[in-house]
Chain A
Amino acid sequence: MLFLFAIAIAGMIAFEGVAAARDPGYKRSVVRYDVPDVVLVNQDGAKLRLRALIESGKPVVLDFIYGTCTTICPVLSAGYTSVQAKIGPDTRKVQLISISIDPEHDTPKVMKGYLKQYRAKPGWDFLTGSREDIDRVMQAFDSYVTDKMYHRQVTFIRAQGPGEWVRIDGLLGSAELMSEIGKTSKK
């Protein structure tokens, strides 16, 4: 019986993962966040004030990933790669930010290697920091997880109003992400 039960569970998981009978798409909402004034470290070992990076005046896209992530981050990061490929040679005109949710493992060296893997160009910063500061940032974006394996697939796009962000729960395609970035910049 136990064996059969195990098989049954196996079947269920297979279907959930492979052929989920759910609606496609993602959930979009506009929210206000108070970003903490923390200093984080990027892939080059440079200290950066998160607020300054976010308030640079450029379109800003932000997500939470980690360097050895298995499933979610590769798709999020491939999305960033596709954005940089589409915005033309001046990749700095859109600020892409990835914040580590595994800051103890994600050293600048690890983050640099990760960005190289995704052919990241200037304008994409991968940030790490103290566990306390990273927790504050996750909490500020209503994305706190107690363990990296509880990771959520969320993307944030800086909107025009003070502290305003477009929050996207779920994974997007390249055209969808470009469209969302376009919407926030046109306002």
Chain B
Amino acid sequence: MTPRRAPSVPRSLLVPLAALLCLATLLSAGLSPAAGEGASVPGLSRAETLRLGERIYRGGILSSGEPLTAVVQGDIPVEGTMFSCVSCHLRSGLGSFEGDILTPPTNGDILYQPWDSHIETARLRRGTMEGTSKQRKRTLFYLTRIGEFPSRPAYTDETLADAIREGADPEGRDFIGVMPRYPFGDREMAILIEYLKSLSKDPSPGVTDTTIRFATVVSGEVSRKERDELLVPLDRYVRIYNGHLRRKTRKSTGARAEEVVRLLPADSEPRLVSLVVWELQGSPETWRGQLEEYYRKEPVFALLSGITTKEWRPVHEFCEENAIPSLLPITDLPVVSETGWYTLYFSKGYYQEGETAARHLARTEAPVSGGPVVQVYPDTPEGNAFASGFRDAWNEGGRAPLLEKALPAGTQATREILEEATGKGRRSVLVLWTGAEAIPALNAMTGGDGGVSTIYMSATLLKEGLLAVPEALRDKTYITYPYGLTDTGPGMMYAKKKVTPQITDRRVPGKAAAIYPVLTEIFSWLESNYFRDYMFDIVDASMLVVASPFERITFGPGQRYASKGCYIVQLSKGERPELVRKSGWVVH
């Protein structure tokens, strides 16, 4: 068979079209007698079949435990360890688009439908298209192209198996070369086909005929101010969204309303958004039980943001185990994981500051005198997050051993403690994850020639005390600063560009404001495809440019920390010091 290239199509066209496509996916559910019934796999229960099918689809692992093998581009051998079905068709199975390669849906409800009548419908639709707006031009472009592609009948189990093995549709037309040809045996094929039929078939929990339910998690210790900074605008967003949905109008006055309404779903029976607050009381050890109880009483489709000053881990684990998406919670203590899937965080929080300090030091961008690197931190969740980030990044490169001193919670870092930790006169590099209360001790112990050569601290810990770094220490003190240095939006740490540092806070208003465009993106493309995995597929493919307190936040397939950076800064001399940037936004 001959590998073929996909036609060139800008991605910006695909996203709305993919959404429409996925509307079709849902609406066509149940129309096909083949879809959902599944192939019979001897000796396997349905649950076991789906488990093994998921392992093939997502992990590229056969039921034998061996990685699958396949061929792409005619003669390039690949293994399941390199990539598998999910790489292109994504978790929801509803397809993707990258560069000019379109990957179509591979869920049973689409595969087991013929296309002929739909192509004709598109041709008719094209004839009615008028106007010159950008969106219409895009749609017209697609409708014009549709005539270039032949129809095909619905797949059957047999023709689908042939397609997966041989790379041709039921009419015998070759697929493009990027679609692997999989030499599956009958058993593996039956397992995979059964799984494909189950993909994005039934709406996820939390969706009724009229409503799609979300929850926001707020822990009890959060201040009223921060709570309101998140919940008031979130609630307002939902009210505006629902108001316009009820009126079923796309016209609006007011800039914010226009932003919401512009991308309202084209779903003929759109669901109203319901947002409830899940209050968590007491110690985090009890949160899991509270979450389970809330969920039992009223399942939700996803969690929208949330806020705590404590560790997010109980909520993270609840979401992982129940496959509930959790979108952009406000926490400085997220779970840092390479395998977590269901929580998209703003950043790695304190951990990310620690990582950045280690990378900055490792790149020898700070003057290092050859003395030991000593990390001092309080033995608290916060202190451990900073310290873990530094330790993990420092140890990545097989560098000199890191000396560490964990201070019992509530213990102040005195001159004696710091001198003992760093070794007087050794010209150490001191990484100090405390607040400004340690600065007098730091100043005293670094005087004369018994001091440390270089110091790392955190702006989020120093808070207003950032100004208390004495002039004598400023040249040797490097400060992690996890937000943008030039933005002046709400909730920024500093009111103006490069001016005297003012009040430090968690920038909740700025973070809350960054959530709205992401929500709008999700609601507009979700259409009627109320599948949790599809929600993250949308965000992962998003090219949104979102204003936020961070220098930049970006999304990507499987990426679960939107802000990837953190600056290293120093204070300038003088009574009204400015922040001086000493690194790029991302330090490698």
Question: Does B559 lie within 8 Å of A20, measured CB to CB?
Answer: no
Q: A7-B28, A117-B82, A174-B76 are known contacts. Are A20 and B121 too (CB-CB below 8 A)?
A: no
Q: What residues on A are CB-neighbors of B3 within 8 Å?
A: 24, 171, 173
Residue A122 CB within 8 A of the other chain? no
A98 within 8 A of B: no
CB A100 to nearest CB in B, in angstroms, measures 10
B27, B87, B149: the one within 8 Å of A71 (CB): B87
Q: How many positions in chain A have a CB within 8 Å of any CB in the partner chain?
A: 67
Which B residues touch A60, using CB under 8 A? none
Q: Which residues of A contact B497 (CB under 8 A)?
A: none
A4, A12, A103, A105 interface centre (most CB from chain B within 10 Å): A12
B32 to chain A, nearest CB (A): 13
Contact call A45/B396, Cβ cutoff below 8 A: yes
Most buried by B among A108, A129, A150: A150
> Which residues from chain A contact B145 at a C-beta distance below 8 Å?
12, 16
Say how far A125's CB is from chain B's closest CB, in angstroms.
14
Asked whether, in the complex, the Cβ of A171 is within 8 Å of the Cβ of B5, the reply is yes
> Interface stretch among A73-81, A88-96, A158-166?
A73-81
Tell me whether A6 and B102 are in contact (CB under 8 A). no
A36 interface hit (Cβ, 8 Å)? no
CB-based contact A153/B2 at 8 Å: no
Which residues on A sit within 8 Å (CB–CB) of B431? Answer: none
Asked if B584 and A130 sit within 8 Å, CB to CB, the answer is yes
The answer to whether A70 touches B557, judged by C-beta atoms less than 8 angstroms apart, is yes
Q: Select one of B5, B88, B115, B175 contacting A26, CB under 8 A.
A: B5
B122 near A70: Cβ-Cβ < 8 Å: no
- Interface readout for B55-98 with A: 1 if CB under 8 Å, 0 if not? 00000000000000000111111100111000110100001111
Segment among B176-184, B374-382, B433-441 that sits at the interface with chain A: B176-184
- Chain B min CB distance to A181 (Å): 14
Contact: B565 with A17, CB < 8 Å? no
Contact of B102 among A17, A41, A118 (CB under 8 A): A17
**Binary interface encoding of chain A residues 99-122 relative to chain B, with 1 for a CB under 8 A from any of its CBs, else 0:** 000111101110000000110000
Pick from B7-15, B204-212, B419-427 the stretch touching chain A.
B7-15
Check: B29 CB closer than 8 A to any chain A CB.
no
Question: Is the pair A7, B584 in contact by a Cβ cutoff of 8 Å?
Answer: no
Instruction: Identify B176's interface contact among A17, A82, A173, CB under 8 A.
Output: A17
Contact B11 A18 (CB under 8 A): no
> Inside 8 A of B83's CB, which chain A residues have their CB?
74, 78
As a 0/1 sequence over residues 366 to 405 of chain B, the CB contacts with chain A under 8 angstroms (1 = contact) are 0000000000000000000000000000001100000000
Residue in contact with B98 in the complex, picked from A69, A130, A170, CB distance below 8 Å = A69
Cβ–Cβ < 8 Å partners of B148 in chain A: 21
Within 332-369 of B, Cβ neighbours of A (below 8 Å) are at 362
B146 at the interface (CB under 8 A from A): yes
Q: Are A107 and B149 in contact (CB under 8 A)?
A: no
Chain A residues with CB under 8 Å of B100's CB are 152-153
A47 — nearest CB in chain B belongs to which residue? B363
B470 at the interface (CB under 8 A from A): no
How far does the Cβ of B462 sit from chain A's closest Cβ, in whole Å?
Answer: 25
Min CB distance, A143 to chain B, in Å? 11
Contacts of A57 on B, CB cut-off 8 Å?
A: none
Is there an interface contact between B396 and A4, defined as CB atoms closer than 8 Å?
no
B473 on the interface (CB 8 Å rule)? no
Nearest-neighbour CB distance to chain A for B475, whole angstroms, equals 24
- Taking CB atoms and an 8 Å cut-off, the chain B residues in 185-235 that contact chain A are none
Q: Which residues of B contact A69 (CB under 8 A)?
A: 98, 557
B174 to chain A: which residues have CB within 8 Å? 19
Contact with B along A5-39 (1 / 0, CB 8 A): 11111111111111111111110000000000000
Q: Residue B571 at the A interface, CB < 8 A?
A: no
Complex CA distance for A16 and B21, rounded to whole angstroms = 13
Name B266's contact: one of A2, A4, A16, A24 (CB within 8 Å). Answer: A2
Chain B positions within 8 Å of A117 at CB level = 81-82
**Which of B24, B73, B87, B564 contacts A171 (CB under 8 A)?**
B73
| In the complex, A52 has a CB within 8 A of chain B | no
> Given A13, A66, A70, A79, which contacts B87 in the complex, CB threshold below 8 Å?
A70
Asked if A128 CB lies within 8 Å of chain B CBs, one says yes
A185 touches B (CB below 8 Å): no
Contact A10 B21 (CB under 8 A): yes
Asked if B44 is an interface residue, CB under 8 A from chain A, the answer is: no
Known: A11-B118, A72-B101, A173-B3. A18 touches B175 (CB 8 A): yes
* Chain A nearest Cβ from B171, distance in angstroms: 8
Identify which of B103, B105, B543 contacts A149 (C-beta below 8 A). B543
CB-nearest residue of chain A relative to B21? A10
**Given the known A-B contacts A3-B24, A102-B556, are A17 and B95 also in contact in the complex, defined by CB atoms under 8 Å?**
yes
Taking the nearest CB of chain B, how far is it from the CB of A69, in angstroms? 7
Of the candidates A19, A21, A79, the one having the most CB atoms from chain B within 10 angstroms of its own CB is A19
Asked if A72 and B99 sit within 8 Å, CB to CB, the answer is: yes
A142 at the interface (CB under 8 A from B): no
* B485 partner residues in chain A, CB cutoff 8 A: none
Instruction: Return A185 CB to nearest CB of chain B, in Å.
Output: 21
Residue in contact with A105 in the complex, picked from B4, B73, B556, CB distance below 8 Å: B556
Please determine whether B7 and A22 come into contact, CB atoms closer than 8 angstroms. Answer: yes
Chain B residues whose C-beta falls within 8 Å of the C-beta of A118 in the assembled complex = 82
CB neighbours (8 Å) of A107 from chain B are 588
In Å, the complex CA distance between A8 and B115 comes to 7
> Would B169 and A18 count as touching, CB distance under 8 A?
yes
- Inside 8 A of B585's CB, which chain A residues have their CB? 104, 131
Q: Report whether A15 and B115 are in contact in the complex, using a CB–CB cutoff of 8 Å.
A: yes
- Interface: B152 (CB within 8 A): yes
Contact with A12, one of B90, B119, B169 (Cβ below 8 angstroms): B119
**Taking CB as reference atom, which chain A residue is nearest B115?**
A11
Which of chain A's residues has its CB closest to B78's CB?
A78
B23 lies within 8 A of A6 (CB)? yes
Q: Decide yes or no whether B237 CB sits under 8 A from chain A.
A: no
Q: Beta-carbon contacts of B141-161 to A below 8 Å, as 1s and 0s?
A: 011011011111000000000
Known: A13-B102, A70-B90. A8 touches B175 (CB 8 A): no
Please name 23 pairs of A and B residues whose Cβ atoms are closer than 8 Å in the assembled complex, sorted by A.
A3-B27, A8-B118, A8-B143, A10-B118, A11-B122, A12-B146, A12-B149, A15-B104, A15-B146, A17-B176, A18-B179, A19-B168, A45-B396, A68-B559, A69-B98, A71-B96, A72-B98, A72-B178, A78-B72, A105-B554, A149-B543, A150-B11, A171-B178
Which 10 A-B residue pairs are closest in the complex by CB-CB distance? A8-B122, A15-B149, A11-B115, A10-B21, A14-B104, A6-B20, A17-B102, A104-B564, A12-B146, A74-B83
Extra A-B contacts (12), CB below 8 Å, given A9-B146, A18-B104? A10-B104, A10-B110, A15-B146, A16-B104, A17-B6, A19-B169, A45-B588, A70-B87, A77-B82, A109-B396, A129-B588, A152-B99
